[in-house]
Amino acid sequence: MKISVIGCGYLGAVHAAAMASLGHEVVGVDVDADKVAALTSGRPPFFEPGLSELLVKGQELGSLEFTTDVSRVADSQIHFVCVGTPQKPGEFAADVTYVDAAVDSLVPHLTSTSVVVGKSTVPVGTAERLAVALVPTGAALMWNPEFLREGHAVEDTLHPNRLVYGVADGEAGEQATAGLDEVYATMLDEQTPRMVTDFATAELVKTAANSFLATKISFINAMAELCEASGADVTQLADAIGIDDRIGRKFLNAGLGFGGGCLPKDIRAFMARAGELGADQAVAFLKEIDSINMRRRVRMVDIARDTLDGSFIGKKITVLGAAFKPNSDDVRDSPALAVARLIATQGGVVTVTDPQAIDNAAMTFPELNYVADTSQALADADAVLLLTEWQEYRDLDPVATASLVAGKVLIDGRNVLTPEVWRSAGWTYRALGRP
Ligand code: UGA
């Protein structure tokens, strides 16, 4: 099928490349000429395993094009809206102006056989509003939320664990469903569960899923606070409760908490939207989820200061990890960088290292010191903080690492190292939620 993808960020670039690899003819549109040039030459403007290969494959097949010229979408039957919905500055609400602008830019190119498919995460009610704007074109609208995780985006896009189609009643909904079934034929052949809902339910599925994930993480981090107060071990607690498959072990990793461009802003946007709908009490608990998450960052700084006899002044601190999670170069609301900055403001001499995210981190917080090489970053450190659990840091050898640093102090912000191994090599090992 002929497809357009409006917005070529983490979501859109992966979606465009993945759809081309399935045999569709895809044109990706973005306002950023540099991003378009990079994608055209097969270089993803961000780190995402497997994406480069898909981009190159799409170019070789001649089925993938990137452009800043929105009129190139004129031949497409299906138009995916994949632009961002960031948190509004100074507010909890999501900024949907990019979604509105994307739909406006499509309008002159739509016909009565076109289908516009929203994938962006939007406040409930957005699709209903946009459907009204599309009425004069005769095009059908669908909301098809995306559940991909950064770092696994290619796999999640090609083999999603479910498909949700939010559609209007009647013929428009049938037209949209038939169109998207054709696009996703290979996934449907793989028996991927597909649910057809109304617009509001589809929009809420996405927000509810991310809110649940955030709640699960903050729940275990609240237990970590209790473990710290009582001398218990949160990793054992998580293993033990996670065996119950009604609870499940996934997303029960206690530590520095969640960050990134999705979970934090989505729970806040949900609270704002619920307030507008007069249902604020229903999600008031998300405020506590947010607070628990933010407290972990402060607690991390407190533990680090404590291990350094109560002061960071003049101490050299090495922070392992800048990305909000491993296998990503995304530093949006990165817990690791938040901790690094807090320590720097308290007089610590902070060096940050990361396998992929240093350039993005340096653009966001130029005041910190960045070193790409892990050994160089560790040199002469008074304390080492593991804040993003890249495999490289999980694999660090306590004996070899000890020969690099000035002080054998390690604080494991992600609970991924084995305390006994580090302690027996002479390290002071501290972690969140563990004795
Ligand atoms: C999240 C959702 O997992 C995706 O399903 C969703 O599509 C996406 O948001 C989105 O809305 O676009 P993502 O932001 O890529 O995906 O990251 P996650 O893997 O969910 O991790 C979020 C944060 O939680 C990270 O900072 C991670 O370190 C933290 N986390 C995760 C924990 O602290 N503990 C855990 O047990 C799991």
| pLDDT for residue 292 | 98
| pLDDT for residue 223 | 98
Per the structure block, which two tokens stand in for 167?
Answer: 């559609």
CA–centroid distance for 52 within its chain = 19
| CB distance 147 to ligand 1 below 6 Å | yes
| Residue whose CA lies nearest to ligand 1 atom number 28 | 325
> What is the tens place of the pLDDT at every residue in 305-352?
999 999 999 999 999 999 999 999 999 999 999 999 999 999 999 999
| CB distance 121 to ligand 1 below 6 Å | yes
- For residues 185-193, average pLDDT: 97
pLDDT band at 174 (very low <50, low <70, confident <90, very high): very high
Query: Any idea where the domains of the chain sit in the sequence?
Result: 2-197, 233-435
Distance 407 CA to ligand 1 centre (A): 33
Alpha-carbon distance values, 274 to 32, 88, 288, 293, 310 (Å): 33, 16, 16, 21, 43
| pLDDT for residue 398 | 98
- For residues 218-240, average pLDDT: 98
Alpha-carbon distance values, 277 to 31, 88, 214 (Å): 33, 18, 22
In angstroms, what is the C-alpha Rg of the chain? Answer: 23
| CB distance 153 to ligand 1 below 6 Å | no
C-beta separation of 172 from 157 below 8 A: no
Residue count of the chain, please give it. Answer: 435
| pLDDT for residue 273 | 97
Q: The sheet that has 64-67: what strands, in order across it?
A: 64-67, 25-29, 2-6, 78-81, 115-118, 140-143, 163-167, 194-197
| pLDDT for residue 81 | 98
> What is the tens place of the pLDDT at every residue in 110-156?
999 999 999 999 999 999 999 999 999 999 999 999 999 999 999 99
Burial class (CB in 10 A: 0-12, 13-18, 19+), 96: buried
- For residues 36-50, average pLDDT: 94
Query: What residues are annotated to the active site?
Result: 262
Query: What sign for the dihedral angle of Cα 307, 309, 312, 314?
Result: negative
Record: fold of 233-435:
Rossmann fold (3.40.50)
Measured from the Cα of 335, ligand 1's closest atom is 26
The residue ranges of DSSP E strands in 33-94, in sequence order, are 64-67, 78-81
| pLDDT for residue 116 | 98
CATH class of 2-197: alpha beta
| CB distance 263 to ligand 1 below 6 Å | yes
| CB distance 84 to ligand 1 below 6 Å | no
pLDDT band at 221 (very low <50, low <70, confident <90, very high): very high
Percent of the chain with pLDDT over 90: 99
> What is the tens place of the pLDDT at every residue in 253-278?
999 999 999 999 999 999 999 999 99
Best mutation site among 121, 159, 210, 330 for ligand 1 pocket (most ligand atoms within 8 Å of CB): 210
| pLDDT for residue 336 | 98
| Torsion region of 334: left, alpha or beta (phi above 0 gives left; psi -120 to 50 gives alpha) | beta
Distance 425 CA to ligand 1 centre (A): 33
- For residues 408-428, average pLDDT: 98
| pLDDT for residue 146 | 96
pLDDT band at 202 (very low <50, low <70, confident <90, very high): very high
Q: Which H or E element spans position 156?
A: helix 153-158
| CB distance 257 to ligand 1 below 6 Å | yes
| CB distance 210 to ligand 1 below 6 Å | yes
CA distance 244 to 193: 24
CA distance 9 to 45: 8
Per the structure block, which two tokens stand in for 85?
Answer: 């919905």
Average of per-residue pLDDT values in the chain: 97
| Residue whose CA lies nearest to ligand 1 atom number 6 | 147
∠ CA(422), CA(425), CA(426), 5° rounding? 95
Give phi and psi for 36, each to the nearest 5.
Answer: -60, -45
CA–centroid distance for 160 within its chain = 16
| Residue whose CA lies nearest to ligand 1 atom number 1 | 149
| Residue whose CA lies nearest to ligand 1 atom number 3 | 149
C-beta separation of 211 from 242 below 8 A: no
- For residues 77-102, average pLDDT: 97
- For residues 225-237, average pLDDT: 98
pLDDT band at 33 (very low <50, low <70, confident <90, very high): very high
| Residue whose CA lies nearest to ligand 1 atom number 18 | 149
Alpha-carbon distance values, 417 to 235, 315, 398, 413 (Å): 11, 24, 10, 10
Per the structure block, which two tokens stand in for 91?
Answer: 């507010």
| pLDDT for residue 259 | 98
Percent of the chain with pLDDT over 70: 100
